[in-house]
Structure 1
Amino acid sequence: MEYRKFGDTYVLRLSPDEEILACLTRLAEEEHMALAEVSGIGALKELTVCVFDTVEKVYYNNTFTKPLELLSLSGTITEMDGKPYLHLHATAGDEAGNALGGHLKAAVISATGEILVRVLPGHVGRQYSEAIGLNLFAF
């Protein structure tokens, strides 16, 4: 991963075999990010996304190991227990034009990843909601 900072925004380029969540976590740690928004595109060779069942309060994973275009990566970086907390969603397209997506669990770059991280002033934490079953924004 290479990156540069321009004002309040980090511009990242990920290389083949790098995993998006690992790179973004490292960036958040190195740059001491407490609140940021993330967007990106790229090319993937592996993607794991999931969908949360609000009744059962469990995630259902879907893993794809084939060439994919990362059509949209979006989400937030906050903190929980003093550590970076990434909440990202991804949509990818396959060779047949099908869209695949959900809550991002893992994504491995095949060619390149182009990601923007805009740091926001302030701090937002996370707190687990027993009623919902998710870690929600804590102001």
Structure 2
Amino acid sequence: MDYRRFGDKYLIRLDKGEEIIESIKEICMKEKIKLASITGIGATNDITIGIYELDKKYYNKQSFHEDFEITSLTGNVILSGDEIIPHIHVNISDKDFKVRGGHLNSAIISVTCEIVLNAIEGEASKYLNEEIGIKLIKF
């Protein structure tokens, strides 16, 4: 992993074998980033994505182990208490150009990943909404 800061933006390059969520957490902790938006592209061959099932109040997760282009990576990061919480969604395309997408749980980079992290001045946190069963942004 390598990255550079340009004003309030960070250009991040992840390399083969690195994991997206953990890498973002590492940079945010090192750079003391409390709030940010994220966009990116890249490639993976080991990814777990999910979709939230409201009636069951859990993420239905599925892992995929084949070559994928990450055609869109988008989300945010919030420091809530002492915890960095990335909330990222992803679209991936397979060799037949079929696209899958959902909440990103984990992705190991197979080639490279290019991420732009836009640090946002200010703070927010997360709280557990009991009715829907997930953490929501609290201002």
**TM-score, length-scaled by structure 1:** 0.98
User: 1:50 corresponds to which residue?
Assistant: 50
**How far does residue 7 in structure 1 lie from its aligned partner after superposition?**
0.7
**How far does residue 103 in structure 1 lie from its aligned partner after superposition?**
0.4
Q: Does 1:108 align with 2:108?
A: yes
C-alpha separation between the residues in 2 aligned to 1:138 and 1:104? 21
User: 2:90 corresponds to which residue?
Assistant: 90
Structure 2 counterparts to residues 1-139 of structure 1, below 5 A: 1-139=1-139
SS at structure 1 position matched to 2:33: coil
C-alpha separation between the residues in 1 aligned to 2:82 and 2:4? 25
RMSD: 0.7
Instruction: Specify every segment of 5 or more residues in structure 2 that has no aligned partner in the other structure, as ranges.
Output: none
**How far does residue 132 in structure 1 lie from its aligned partner after superposition?**
1.1
**How far does residue 81 in structure 1 lie from its aligned partner after superposition?**
2.4
Instruction: Specify every segment of 5 or more residues in structure 1 that has no aligned partner in the other structure, as ranges.
Output: none
Aligned length, in residue pairs: 139
The one-letter code of the counterpart of 2:135 is N
**How far does residue 18 in structure 1 lie from its aligned partner after superposition?**
0.3
C-alpha separation between the residues in 1 aligned to 2:57 and 2:79? 22
**TM-score, length-scaled by structure 2:** 0.98
Residue identity over aligned pairs, in percent, reads 33
